[in-house]
Structure 1
Amino acid sequence: MDATDASEDKGTAGAVPASVEAAWGLRPRPQKGPRRGLTLDGIVAAAVAVADAEGLEAASMGRVAKELGVSTMALYRYVATKDELVTLMVDGAFGPPPPLPEDAADDWRAGLRHWYQAIGTAMFAHPWAVAHVPSGGPPVTPNQLAALDQALYILRDTPLTEFEKVATALLVSNQVRAEVTIALTMGGNPDMEQLMNEYSHFLLRVSDAGRLPHLRTAVEGGAFDEPDVQPPQNPSDYDEFAFGLERVLDGIEALIDSRRAG
């Protein structure tokens, strides 16, 4: 099936935006444009650069067109809506998954740990993109599907079913997204230490006289002290996230062990 046939495939009509199909090479890209050299990749790269420097709101269609020296209407030959552009921006910002290190290629737990850290590193580098990572539907863009493919490779020798492998990848990716969201929210608030202190004091007040005894024990034990949630500079600097990730991996390991025992 050639590119023209793919673009008319009834199975994909409406399910995947035309710009995403173009990113995959599944439909012809505009051959005649207002400026020679204008490409979908170039549009996405320019939009990502603006969002990285000034935030997603600044990356309007008009602003991106201005950065490229073309009219706003010229962009609509490549992307139909701002939402489509954001979808491609997220994919372009995160990029393809980095290669697995040798010590993680044949160890599913080490492999998923590396995979998790790579996703987290990309999210911290482009915080505007975190809220726009697809969560209500399956991934469709090239780099996101490449990341999913890598996760399935990591799990290839486990006894999990194919459905369970995909579900495991989604579980781990959702875990890192949640952790990064919390870190960006808390780490980006200069008043967070004061807010956490005030919250802890509030909890002590409402848990006096024997009320909420277990919550009071947690507060007195430092459970609500402000954690170090600054974005890590290296993939190994994920100490604050280790607890959640390792518990997720423990659950996956228990399932794998039960499959092997059965």
Structure 2
Amino acid sequence: MAGIATPQGGDPARTIELLWGGGSAPVSRPRRGKAGLNLDRIVDVAIGLADAEGLDAVSMRRVAAELGAGAMSLYTHVPGKVELVDVMTDRVLSTLHAAPDDPVAGWRDRLAAAARGYFELLRAHPWMLNVVTLSRPVLGPGAMAKYERELAAVEGLGLSDLEMDSVVTLLDSFAVGAARAAAEAAALASRGDADSEWWRSIAPHFEKVFDPDRFPLAARVGASAGEHHNAAFAPDHAFEFGLARLLDGIGALIRNGGRSLE
């Protein structure tokens, strides 16, 4: 199953309890005029901090300060940051919604919609890329709903259960990699390092040492791609091109009856 990692450490039993609704009751007395603390408010504030400043900004003390509460009061609701990150991750995944039912849409459209949704979600919450892995998924309702929808897209197509899981894992892995590359490009741009400015600064020096006769393909193809993208790399194009090629391969697998291709 593809998904999001549970960070190292933490209390697995408490994490499952929090993910599936066994969380804490609100505190009886609000502090500083705020509404009573509860897990939902804590998670919402933590996600907001992570979106704005990155996962390193999320600490029990910082979240408590944002809520106008004492740090120790948060531990009534969540044991620590490890468990909090799990719940944050599943909460974000729960915002992925299934596309409207379309009786005409086939498996390709459904998988493409799922992959695009995940890609855009990770771009909107880049801190999630710091906890992404395939080996230890968060086992919450948001992650399970995502997995169920993705599997439903390839149900009844002649693939084995293992092949269905492998298709979902393949697309999730691709979406994560593409989102990570997009996040890196966005981070550079946010620091004022626009691709066009970077190229203008380095091109005169590179042209002095680059020999197009020695690297003819790199010269020709690189120039063509750079002219098309107006950059060395275009995240959206890379995602759409890669997704289409992956879906082509999955289509070949389906046409082959789920058997390994020669």
* TM-score bucket of the superposed structures, by smaller chain: 0.7 to 0.9
| Pairing 1:50–2:54 present | no
Aligned mate of 2:17, from 18, 21, 34? 21
CA displacement at 1:84 relative to structure 2: 2.2
Point out the more displaced range, 105-114 or 248-257.
Answer: 105-114
Separation of aligned partners in 2, 1:99 and 1:127: 21
Q: CA RMSD in A?
A: 3.1
Change (3 A) 1:35 1:219: same
- Structure 1 residues 65 and 260: alpha-carbon distance in aligned structure 2, compared to 1, 3 A threshold: closer
Deviations along 1:60-112, one digit per CA (max 9) or x if unpaired, are 21111122232212222333331221222122234342122333775110001
Q: 1:53 to 1:210 in 2, by over 3 A?
A: closer
TM-score (norm 1): 0.76
Deviation of the 1:202 alpha carbon: 6.7
Q: Name stretches of at least 5 consecutive residues in structure 1 with no aligned partner.
A: 1-13, 231-237
Return the alpha-carbon distance in structure 1 between the equivalents of residues 138 and 196 of structure 2. Answer: 37
Q: Does 1:216 align with 2:214?
A: no
* Higher relative contact order, structure no. (Cα contacts within 8 Å, ≥ 6 residues apart): 2
Once the two structures are superposed, the pairs formed by residues 110-121 of structure 1 within 5 Å of their partners are 110-121=109-120
The equivalent residue for 1:11 is none
- The separation in 2 between residues aligned to 1:39 and 1:33, in whole angstroms, is 7
Deviation (angstroms), 1:256: 0.8
1:247 to 234, 245, 251: 245
Percent identical: 30
Amino acid at match of 2:223: E
CA contact (8 A) 1:120 1:176 kept: yes
Contact 1:203–1:216 (CA<8 Å) still a contact in 2?
Answer: no
Aligned length: 240
**Contact 1:29/1:78 (<8 A) preserved:** yes
Unpaired segments of 5 or more residues in structure 2?
1-9, 31-35
1:134 alignment counterpart: 133
Map 1:197-212 onto structure 2 (within 5 A). Answer: 208=211, 210-212=213-215
